[in-house]
Structures are given as structure tokens and as C-alpha cells.
């Protein structure tokens, strides 16, 4: 039987570095709202007759909401998060009256807006056993949650994790192993948000394989696929773990370089360009290809991923027009104006 706060389940040991690493692998933090998650929180809100429901994920210092209905916020401090208590136990966390619970009675979310009084949260547990957050129902009045309701919540939480798993699978291009265009743009959006909040630098490198259509026409599409695989492998091998590598479309790829300034990004582009030029791709006969590069750093003020891509793309096509097999840096003014 699921009970309220007076019978507190025993805490479990958490390997916090491993838990955070698991959370990072999903690449879900700071991504836009998605219907699959919003449908779950809408359903919880209806079935539980509560004003607020959320898919909450616990980062190192914050609670971030992949989906939240009934409350217009995207994150809170971790110290305020009911969910942070939920991930530290195996059983669902049920609070029938937060004002009467010593853990929460002084919480700003209880004493101020939105005035939380009752809470039911089920852990979002990964297949390898890490509690990343919770699916929760929140009310502004004291109340109990029936065993039947809690069974529903316990059944919906794994569906949220499944959506996270499916989202992860859908983010990878099957041929190159790179992020899909959609997933790569989500990474750009996250870096733009980080730049807006903390002014952290970043650079975008776009590369396009030169004369790729001629390779397909002359040697066939299987040879073209081998070229895509080889170029992608080279790029990933020359990237840092913190970088994001994506296939933008066809023979065009993107490399996102966090904390990189102009000179660093241009050096990375030329290092990859030189490696591609020297590499012999297995085929009959063996193939050699080159690639052209456009580089754009994040500009001042608010930007969009489309504008950032546009600036790097303009530099890329300038490299094509200048004779290919070279890297061109977009002026910062172009990034701001794009």
C-alpha cells in the first residue's frame, strides 16, 4: 500500500556522477517541448484532477522540466525540487500535506507560488537503474492519492523513459552514426541558450564533401556510402567528447565546438580538412576526396539556430566558389546579421 509522508521509504545510495552521465547521454536537457511528453502530463492532470503535472529531470544544480502543464516555468533550483527527494528512494514519493512535512514546509514552492500542498511522484528510472527524475502530479490543496491512481502513475513513468529512449535512437543517422539534422539543431539551440545566459563561446563548423555527385555517378551509391562513413569516422575521431557532430543532409555535416573561439575553430576545420584530403577510402579503385568548410562563431545578442547555420553555410559556399578543399571563416558581423 502506498502511504503519505509519515511512513517515509528508506533512502537509496546514488552514484551521482554515473546518474548525471546517464542524464547527459539522453541529450534532453534544454530541448524544446515535445508532444509525446506533453500528452503524458496532460493525461496525468486529467486523471488525477490536479492543476499541475510535470516530467522533471534533476541536473547537477537544477530541476528542469521536459514537460510541465499548469505552471509557466522551465526550471527551479535543485534545492527546491520535490523530485530531488523522489530520486533518492525506490518507492513513489507521496506528500499529502507539504505544510505538515518537515522536509517541505519551508520550501519556497510551498510558502510562495504556486503553493504546493500535495505531491505524488514516480521515478524515471533508466534501463541501467539510474533515477533521472520523476513524473509527478501536484495539487495546491492537501489530499491523498488512491492506490489506483498511483498504479496509473507507476505505469506511465516507464512510458516517459521509453520516449526518451526512442528519442535517443531517432537522433542518430543510420549510415554515418552522426546526429540527425533535428538532433543537431537541438544541440545548437542549447548552446545558444547557454550563450544567452552565461556568454559561453561556441563555434559551428559546416563541411561538404567536394564533387560527391560525381562519386555516386561514376562508382555507384555503395561507394558514396563508404565515403560518407569514412568522412564521418574521421570527423568523430578528431573531435572532443564535448563536441556534437551531425549530418545536416546528404554529404553535408556539422560540428559544434563548445568553448571554441574563431582561431580554434578554424584550426579544427583545417585539421579535419587535411585528414580527409590524405585519407584513402577503401573501394575498387581506392578513393580520395576533399571537403570544403565554413566556420561561424556565436554572435552577440540573441540568435537562432537557422541564423547560425546560415552564416556557416555562406562561408562554406564561399569556400566552394574559391576552389574547394579550404576552410573559410564567416565574419562575426555575418553571424549577427544572418
Contacts of 242 (CB under 8 A, 6+ apart): 258, 259
Across the beta sheet with 291-297, the strand order is 244-249, 252-258, 202-209, 291-297, 327-329
Q: How far apart are CA 11 and CA 84, in angstroms?
A: 12
Q: How far apart are CA 185 and CA 183, in angstroms?
A: 5
Q: Which of 56, 53, 59, 50 is nearest to 24 (CA)?
A: 59
Q: Are 37 and 163 in contact (CB under 8 A)?
A: yes
Catalytic annotation present for 251 = yes
- Residue 91's Cβ-side half-sphere holds a number of Cα atoms within 13 Å equal to 14
Coil, strand, or helix at residue 318? helix
Out of 251, 252, 277, 280, pick the active-site residue.
251
Q: Which of 69, 66, 94 is nearest to 1 (CA)?
A: 94
Q: Are 134 and 126 in contact (CB under 8 A)?
A: no
Contacts of 214 (CB under 8 A, 6+ apart): none
Q: How far apart are CA 216 and CA 68, in angstroms?
A: 47
Residues forming the active site: 251
Amino acid at each position: 500500500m502506498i502511504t503519505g509522508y509519515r511512513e517515509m521509504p528508506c533512502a537509496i545510495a546514488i552514484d551521482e556522477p554515473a546518474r548525471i552521465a546517464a542524464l547527459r547521454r539522453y541529450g534532453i536537457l534544454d530541448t524544446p517541448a515535445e508532444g509525446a511528453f506533453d500528452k503524458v502530463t496532460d493525461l496525468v492532470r486529467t486523471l488525477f484532477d490536479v492543476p499541475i503535472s510535470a516530467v522533471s529531470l534533476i541536473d547537477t544544480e537544477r530541476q528542469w522540466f521536459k514537460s510541465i502543464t499548469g505552471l509557466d516555468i522551465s526550471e527551479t533550483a535543485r534545492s527546491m525540487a520535490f523530485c530531488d527527494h523522489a530520486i533518492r528512494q525506490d518507492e513513489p514519493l507521496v506528500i499529502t500535506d507539504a505544510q505538515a512535512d518537515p522536509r517541505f514546509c519551508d520550501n519556497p514552492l510551498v510558502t510562495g507560488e504556486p503553493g504546493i500542498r500535495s505531491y505524488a511522484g514516480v521515478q524515471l528510472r533508466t534501463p541501467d537503474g539510474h533515477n533521472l527524475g520523476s513524473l509527478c502530479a501536484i495539487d495546491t490543496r492537501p489530499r491523498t492519492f488512491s492506490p489506483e491512481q498511483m498504479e496509473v502513475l507507476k505505469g506511465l513513468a516507464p512510458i516517459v523513459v521509453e520516449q526518451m529512449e526512442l528519442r535517443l535512437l531517432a537522433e542518430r543517422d543510420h549510415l554515418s552514426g552522426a546526429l540527425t539534422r533535428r538532433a543537431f539543431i537541438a544541440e545548437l539551440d542549447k548552446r545558444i541558450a547557454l550563450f544567452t545566459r552565461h556568454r559561453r563561446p561556441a563555434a559551428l563548423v559546416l563541411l561538404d564533401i567536394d564533387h560527391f555527385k560525381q562519386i555516386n555517378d561514376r562508382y555507384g551509391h555503395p561507394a558514396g556510402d563508404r565515403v560518407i562513413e569514412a568522412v564521418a569516422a574521421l570527423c568523430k575521431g578528431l573531435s572532443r567528447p564535448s563536441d556534437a557532430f551531425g549530418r545536416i543532409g546528404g554529404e553535408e555535416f556539422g560540428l559544434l565546438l563548445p568553448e571554441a573561439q574563431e582561431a580554434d575553430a578554424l584550426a579544427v576545420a583545417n585539421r579535419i580538412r587535411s585528414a580527409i584530403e590524405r585519407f584513402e577510402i577503401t573501394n575498387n579503385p581506392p578513393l580520395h576526396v576533399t571537403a570544403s568548410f565554413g566556420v561561424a562563431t556565436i554572435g552577440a545578442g540573441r540568435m537562432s539556430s537557422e541564423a547560425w547555420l546560415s552564416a556557416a553555410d555562406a562561408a562554406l559556399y564561399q569556400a566552394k566558389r574559391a576552389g574547394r578543399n579550404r576552410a573559410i571563416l564567416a565574419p562575426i558581423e555575418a553571424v549577427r546579421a544572418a
